[in-house]
Structure 1
Amino acid sequence: MKHYLSIPSPLGAILLRAEDDALTGLYFDGQKYFPAGAAGAASDKPPRVLAETAQQIAEYFAGERQRFTVRLHMMGSPFQQQVWNALVQIPFGEIESYGRLAQRLGLPLGTARAVGAANGRNPVAIIVPCHRVIGSTGQLTGYAGGIHRKAALLALERPAQSLPQQLELLDAAQ
């Protein structure tokens, strides 16, 4: 049975989804791949993992947490699983390009787009840090939750002097 919990965040509402006391989804309201029929869904007796995730997300946005410890169960193809496992290896505050991530996975040249597609299907945003992957030229590309949220997550994790080029330009325009 799927359980849902909507929580507030500085970047808008986040919908959490769990099954069998494991987190299976974390989605920004309105993001690409938002689960159909889940808007407004809530559970009478949500599993403990939803409360734990809500607490850890609040700590993350408060600058008090860099690693998450909630139990995950992510459904995806073997290739997607491989990419998602590599994402959790990117340290807090660091960034990686799609091409370098493909290279680190031992994939052939030219597979950066496939890595980007798998990255975009990550069902547990923030916790599996797909926002830490950027274009090879420093561009903020491809974030299912929206580029503005990707920029905000990177700004939360990175000191201003080491922001990617496009993020520096976004900050300068504000």
Structure 2
Amino acid sequence: MPFHALIPSLLGPILLEADEVGLRGLYFTDQRDLPQVPGVEAVAAKVSDPTAGRQGGRPIRSFRAVRGQAAGESGALFTESTEALQMETVPLRLLQENTPDSARAVLEQTRRELDEYWRGERQVFEMPLAPQGTAFQRKVWQALLAVSCGQTLSYGELAERAGLGAGHGRAVGTAVGSNPISIIIPCHRILARNGTLNGYGGGLSRKARLLEIEGFTIR
């Protein structure tokens, strides 16, 4: 049985889902695939199209992530003020009163490690994971876990890393889009073959921000 908690984040409220084994889900509360959980307020503006959005008059999907900051570039298209990075630690809000200690420990560890990530103090997550999916999906998600902070891959490259061959890029893309544990299983590090942002279940502006947090300039 899954148990749930809500936490704030730099990119908006997050719903966590865990069982007594590990973390099963991490969702922004306006994702279209958000689980229906009592106590989670309905969001009027859902992210219905993971490829939509514009910034500076351009479709966000057409932006590229460049490692580091090029000379003369501010890199400020998506970056928020430095004050926004100083988040006050807020206790997680458990949504089930009967949450067992083991699941509570997973949820609390996730909150703590995410706080460290937002502050730039953590690049590798250590909470136990228990995503639910097909054998194919789990194989792709396992390959995603090997994409380290500061690195990006194309869908074809990810397919090859998963031992599936570049010809499976489309199926791999579908599995990436079904990733239930955003940020932790880092699907935001997967780009189109030409290096553009392409799509993201939590919204492309969030994908851009996550990449900026990890040292990329979006241009």
Structure-2-length-normalised TM-score: 0.70
Match of 1:163 in 2: none
Q: Counterpart of 2:123 in structure 1: which amino acid?
A: Q
* Match 1:64 to one of 121, 126, 136: 121
Identify the match of residue 110 of structure 1 among 139, 145, 167: 167
Deviations 1:101-156 (A, max 9, x none): 11222324432111111011111111111110010111112211111111100010
Structure with the largest fraction of helix: 1
Contact kept, 8 Å, 2:156 with 2:165, in 1: the verdict is no
| Contact 2:14-2:26 within 8 A present in 1 as well | yes
Aligned to 2:33: 33
Unaligned runs of 5+ in 1: 161-166, 169-174
Contact 1:2–1:17, Cα closer than 8 Å, also in 2: yes
Q: Tell me what 1:54 maps to.
A: 111
Deviates more, 1:40-49 or 1:135-144: 40-49
- Describe the shift of the 1:67–1:45 C-alpha distance in structure 2 as closer, same or farther (beyond 3 A): farther
Distance between the aligned counterparts of 1:109 and 1:13, measured in 2? 35
1:111 match: secondary structure: helix
Q: In the alignment, which residue of structure 2 is the partner of 1:88?
A: 145
Give 1:5-20 correspondences, 5 Å limit.
Answer: 5-20=5-20
Which amino acid in the other structure matches residue 104 of structure 1? R
TM superposition outliers: structure 1 runs of 4+ over 6 Å: none
If asked which structure has higher relative contact order (CA below 8 Å, sep 6+), I would say 2
1:101–1:12 distance in 2 versus 1, CA, 3 Å: same
- What is the RMSD computed on CA atoms of the aligned residues? 1.5
Equivalent residue for 1:78? 135
The equivalent residue for 1:164 is: none
Q: Secondary structure of the residue that 2:96 maps to in structure 1? A: coil
Asked whether the 8 Å contact 2:155–2:192 carries over to 1, the reply is yes
Counterpart in the other structure of 2:182: 125
Aligned residue number for residue 95 of structure 2: 42
Unmatched tracts of structure 2, length 5 or more: 42-93
- Secondary structure at the aligned position of 1:110 is classed as helix
- Aligned-pair distance for 1:21? 4.4
